[in-house]
């Protein structure tokens, strides 16, 4: 169970505190033992990531190799790749159905 204590670049997280509570994002940078940079590719772009305290995030046991490889090789990742990773690993929430008018 101690496998996901340390956040990794490319790891999928769920925000549990703050304005984006309940949404998913990808870790695109690790600041230190307490903080990480997250982005989702749509509302929160790669160039304007959100700095989040780890106690406000639920680290999911999923790491997107596409995102982590891209950041390791080029130092960045496209917003499309972030959206792709989230769509691939996170089941669409019921909020989207409500937004479309059911």
User: Within its chain, how far is the Cα of 99 from the centroid?
Assistant: 22
**pLDDT tens by residue, 80-89:** 999 999 999 8
Select from 22, 81, 82, 29 the least CA-distant residue to 57: 22
SS3 60: strand
User: Where does the pLDDT of residue 5 fall: very low under 50, low under 70, confident under 90, or very high at 90 and above?
Assistant: confident
pLDDT of 93 reads: 53
More confident site: 12 or 6: 12
- Confidence class of residue 94 from pLDDT cuts 50, 70 and 90? very low
Secondary structure (3-state) at 63: strand
What is the SS3 assignment for 22? coil
Evaluated on CA atoms 36, 40, 46, 51, the torsion sign reads negative
Reported as a pLDDT band with limits 50, 70 and 90, residue 92 is low
| Residue written as token pair 């940078």 | 29
- Mean pLDDT score, 33-60: 96
Cβ burial, residue 77 (10 Å; 0-12/13-18/19+):
buried
């Amino acid at each position: 169970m101690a496998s996901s204590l340390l956040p990794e670049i490319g790891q999928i997280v769920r925000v549990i505190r703050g304005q984006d509570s309940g949404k998913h994002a990808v870790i695109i940078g690790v600041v230190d033992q307490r903080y990480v940079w997250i982005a989702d590719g749509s509302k929160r772009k790669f160039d304007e990531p959100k700095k989040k305290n780890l106690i406000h995030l639920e680290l999911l046991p999923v790491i997107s190799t596409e995102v982590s490889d891209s950041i390791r090789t080029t130092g960045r990742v496209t917003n499309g790749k972030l959206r792709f990773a989230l769509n691939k690993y996170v089941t669409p929430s019921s909020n989207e159905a409500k937004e479309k008018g059911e």
